Structure 1
Amino acid sequence: MSAPLHSEGLAGPGPAKPHPDRPNPDRWIKVLPEGLYVEPGGFYIDPVRGVDRAVVTHGHSDHARAGNRHVLATAGTIAIMRQRLGEGAGGSLQELAYGETIRLGDVALRLVPAGHVLGSAQVVIEHAGSRVVVSGDYKRRFDRTCAPFEPVPCDVFVTEATFGLPVFRHPPDLGEVRKLLHSMTLFPERSHVVGVYALGKCQRVITLLRAAGYDGPIHLHGALEPLCDLYRRFGIELGELRPATVAAREQLKGALVLAPPGAVADRWARRLTDPVVAMASGWMRVRQRARQRGVELPLIISDHADWDELTQTIDEVQAPEVWVTHGREEALVHHATRKGIRARALALIGFEEDEA
């Protein structure tokens, strides 16, 4: 049985003061087949298979997997894991509030917001005079559905690179949503169906629509309803939502419908009246991807940082060493190296390109 966790007020405003002979974090944080392992704490971060102790950054399925004996995460992430994984969410589930510091083995650990989806967190680890921040997935845009990203000064910053190429510069979110609303005024007789990932993207698109002034009903594919209900339990207001799966064909004429990307092109979508097919994803920047998916109205709305936000974040955390993972690693490593930062690719496996 692993040792219990104890709360301590160990968090500080800046990087930990280094010891002259401190071991470099790459000696005690290791890439193993199960994932990123913090040896002095005896835990993995977002393991790709079941382990004894896991710290989970957020609820997306390539980060929050079934079969862990002990799980530590925010209340939002644990609620999402229970919703999606049921009893497989973990043998024991421990909630940790943002900013609360605990002791796990020889490591002091706290979670701070990552701005990705509800409950998403960065893992801040202090050990042997070093502070390491494992960011998980993150974005820097304002999002009514989750706590905003907090940059934490550190000695090593582990960053994602989903959109780690200079070509990826996301336009303003509200401008993309207004494209959708403009299309609805141009084609009022046609249904508009928007492909959205069930966790995070769906709820964010809804709140962006509300912020842009759309107060009408939004119809949901049945697969999206449970997580919208969960977001509401966490106090996220989504306005009037109606089930699209049981609605009569006539009711969906001219309607705004959200559905998982895979459902947009299947038999379910045949119930819609001459639909305008849209997709909300950072990958819609790539026109070939939009054409391959049969997308008439690409909406570049991402839950990940774009190139400028990735490089901005590296500047803000002031880490002399950066580790890059799951994405376009080479370009970001090259950028950091040119700035005099020690940088390397972690080459973690098991993390997917979702509808980002």
Structure 2
Amino acid sequence: MLLKVNSKGLYCAKADVYIDPWRPVKKALITHGHADHMRWGNQQYLCHTDTVPVLKVRLGADVVYQSVGYNEPVTINGVSFSFHPAGHILGSSQIRVEYKGEVWVVTGDYKLLPDGLSPEFEPVRCHHFITESTFGLPIYQFESPLTIFDDISNWWQENREQQRATVICCYSLGKAQSILNYFKETEERVFLHGAVANLNDAFRENGYHFIGSRIAADQKKEDFRQALIIAPPSALGTPWMRKFGDYRTAMCSGWMQLRGMRRRRGVDKGFVFSDHCDFNSLNAAVKMSEAENIYITHGYELQYAQWLREAYGLNAQIMKTLYNDTETEEL
């Protein structure tokens, strides 16, 4: 097999490189900047250009890296690698690996529904397709992120009419930028948790500019009345939230589709917004790959592999990795 999992990660022995390793290695190819896929300690990193700002924030400016654009092949020891849009977040990539006519695709994390910011998913034909299965059950059916953003806008308007602040809790990397991009024309006040502001500042080096002001320690409660605040889920229930006075909270996650999840997270509102595929999108991606061999990583691996075998007659098997599907990523 061209790609195999060992104790350090997904390994290509022919090129002596790893893709998204979970232990330090000599050379790592990175699908995207979330912490379970881009870890500290590798000697060299190869990633998409838009992942570089995240790499610098998370791992430090002294990290040795090489960046490439989409569809720019890189040959390592006779093996061809190329990065293709995954639709997950800025810079997220599927990595295509080819050696002597055998083609593998590592999707990392991905989604097919456009969010208005991330480059849209690009189908890549292959013989072997490695896919996540975070939402690999039929119960997960997501609406367009743009529809969800409309819902967020309407809820924010309701809170403004009641003189309340609106706190949206979501990934600092990915969802936060997509939401801010949707509201880029707003004339209302928007404030950012430091984790979100740090990433937005970093993305400027690649020409991305997002609305919102970093929250200062000395700001008054009055400053936040009727405002929109973007914060990571870790801010919920902390003393930091007291500064907003009268406010309402919402969580953006695919898990909000589950009955009772909003209550367990202690928020007023749940928006079903994920940067992963729902069940139908997973099936569509598998079909578009035209691969006969499907490897299922984190999520509902057992159930989704069985579905692909029974529904489509594919050689679907579980590939055990250390990636996660919590949707509570923090920086």
Structure 1 residues 235-264: Cα deviation after superposition (integer angstroms, max 9, x where no partner) = 33433x122243211111221111111112
Aligned to 1:6: none
Q: How does 1:263-302 map to 2 (within 5 A)?
A: 263-302=235-274
Q: For residues 181 and 129 of structure 1, do their structure 2 counterparts lie closer, same or farther at Cα, with a shift above 3 Å needed?
A: closer
1:77 is displaced (CA, Å) by: 1.4
1:231 equivalenced with 2:203 (yes/no): yes
**In structure 2, the residue corresponding to 1:169 is in which secondary structure?**
coil
Aligned to 1:86: 60
What letter is aligned with 1:68?
N
Looking at structure 1, the residues matched to 158 and 39 of structure 2 have their Cα atoms a distance apart, in angstroms, of: 43
Match among 299, 313, 319 for residue 340 of structure 1: 313
Aligned to 1:178: 150
Aligned to 2:288: 316
Q: For residues 95 and 187 of structure 1, do their structure 2 counterparts lie closer, same or farther at Cα, with a shift above 3 Å needed?
A: closer
What letter is aligned with 1:205?
I
**In structure 2, the residue corresponding to 1:168 is in which secondary structure?**
coil
Looking at structure 2, the residues matched to 225 and 218 of structure 1 have their Cα atoms a distance apart, in angstroms, of: 11
Residues 53, 205 of structure 2: 8 Å contact kept: no
Residues 325, 347 of structure 1: 8 Å contact kept: yes
What letter is aligned with 1:216?
E
Moved more, 316-325 or 103-112: 103-112
What letter is aligned with 1:259?
A
Looking at structure 2, the residues matched to 120 and 350 of structure 1 have their Cα atoms a distance apart, in angstroms, of: 15
What letter is aligned with 1:124?
R
What letter is aligned with 1:36?
L
1:28 is displaced (CA, Å) by: 3.2
Structure 1 residues 295-318: Cα deviation after superposition (integer angstroms, max 9, x where no partner) = 111011111111110001111111
Structure 1 residues 21-73: Cα deviation after superposition (integer angstroms, max 9, x where no partner) = xxxxxx33211111111111101110001101111111111111111011111
Looking at structure 2, the residues matched to 232 and 143 of structure 1 have their Cα atoms a distance apart, in angstroms, of: 20
Moved more, 214-223 or 69-78: 214-223
Q: How does 1:181-200 map to 2 (within 5 A)?
A: 181-188=153-160, 189-200=163-174
What letter is aligned with 1:84?
R
Match among 88, 94, 98 for residue 126 of structure 1: 98
Aligned to 1:351: 324
Match among 228, 231, 243 for residue 214 of structure 2: 243
**In structure 2, the residue corresponding to 1:72 is in which secondary structure?**
strand
1:205 is displaced (CA, Å) by: 1.1
1:107 is displaced (CA, Å) by: 1.1
**In structure 2, the residue corresponding to 1:132 is in which secondary structure?**
strand
**In structure 2, the residue corresponding to 1:122 is in which secondary structure?**
strand
What letter is aligned with 1:81?
L
Match among 9, 16, 19 for residue 35 of structure 1: 9
Aligned to 1:75: 49
Identity of aligned residues (%): 34
Match among 98, 118, 122 for residue 150 of structure 1: 122
Looking at structure 2, the residues matched to 101 and 174 of structure 1 have their Cα atoms a distance apart, in angstroms, of: 32
Aligned to 2:21: 47
Q: For residues 146 and 173 of structure 1, do their structure 2 counterparts lie closer, same or farther at Cα, with a shift above 3 Å needed?
A: closer
1:274 is displaced (CA, Å) by: 2.2
Aligned to 1:257: 229
CA RMSD of aligned residues (A): 1.7
TM-score with structure 1 setting the length: 0.87
1:137 equivalenced with 2:109 (yes/no): yes
1:196 is displaced (CA, Å) by: 1.4
Residues 36, 46 of structure 1: 8 Å contact kept: yes
What letter is aligned with 1:251?
D
**In structure 2, the residue corresponding to 1:187 is in which secondary structure?**
helix
1:350 is displaced (CA, Å) by: 4.4
Aligned to 2:192: 220
1:107 equivalenced with 2:79 (yes/no): yes
Structure 1 residues 203-249: Cα deviation after superposition (integer angstroms, max 9, x where no partner) = 01112334xx644221111221011122333233433x122243211
> Any gaps of 5 or more consecutive residues in structure 2?
none
Residues 158, 325 of structure 1: 8 Å contact kept: yes
**In structure 1, the residue corresponding to 2:60 is in which secondary structure?**
helix
Q: How many residues align?
A: 325
Q: Which runs of 4+ in 1 moved over 3 A?
A: none
